[in-house]
Structure 1
Amino acid sequence: MIRKVGQIMLYVNDQDKSRDFWTEKLGFRIVSEGSLGEMKWIEVGPADAETSIVLHNKELVARMSPGLNLGTPSLMFFTDDLDRLYGDLKNKNVNVGEIVTMPTGRVFNFSDDEDNYFAVMERQ
């Protein structure tokens, strides 16, 4: 039986630039980096999180696995302090949407440097 989500694959055009976005602007840590032949991966995630994001080279994966869906997964992150995170990301020139109130809590969207969009919801 599945008991947790381990890793989420994110296919990007520039792995190093994407790593820098997640670590410098979102405060994620590098969990691991590695390569096997021409395949390189960079695993990032929040401190102490059980789930991580693995950054893969989109062009290389498309060549190696034709037909694989390389679209951006729809990810919802949780935070304890939405206002502080929102202000921090704006100060770091991250493209953020407006904060909206949903039945499940307040939420906003943000995009990385490749215009992949993600969401953050306040959870206490």
Structure 2
Amino acid sequence: MINQIGQVMLYVNDQDQAVQFWTEKVGFIVVSEDNNGHGMKWIEIAPAQGAQTSFVLHNKQLIAEMQPELNLGTPSIMLFSDNLDALYEDFKSKGITVGDVVTMPGARIFNFADDENNYFAVMERK
């Protein structure tokens, strides 16, 4: 039986640039970094140490060559924040592309783009 979502794999064009974006701009930390010695490197990042769910950054081109049947598109991911307005202003001040804050029934949300123009959403959850 599955009891938890552990990791979400993100396939990126430039792993180093992706790490820099997620750590320096978004505020995630690097949980682990592994290299199999044959050119395959994977980097686990998360909002904080001990987070239940993390992202694993993979080299998109390498994975496409190894497993061409995989869908390498970015999944729709909803992140949570307990202070949406402060996060929105922080992202804007760091030059992150952000959409408008939208009020939905029971939630406020905004989208942002990483350096490869993949979009993610943040919802206020108090």
TM-score calculated relative to the size of structure 1? 0.98
5+ residue gaps, structure 1: none
AA in 2 matched with 1:44: I
Identity of aligned residues (%): 64
* Pairing of 1:1-124 with structure 2 (within 5 A): 1-36=1-36, 37-47=38-48, 48-124=50-126
CA RMSD of aligned residues (A): 0.6
Q: CA deviation at 1:103?
A: 1.1
Q: What's the secondary structure of 1:96's corresponding residue?
A: coil
Residue correspondences, number:
124
Superposition deviation, residue 2 in structure 1: 1.1
Give runs of ≥4 in structure 1 deviating > 4 Å: none
- SS in structure 2 at match of 1:95: coil
Q: Deviations over 1:97-123 (max 9, x none)?
A: 000001130000000000000000000
> TM-score, normalization: structure 2?
0.97
Where do 5+ consecutive residues of structure 2 fail to align? none
Deviations 1:66-91, CA, capped at 9 Å, x for gaps: 12100001000000000000000000
Task: Give the letter aligned to residue 85 of structure 1.
Answer: L
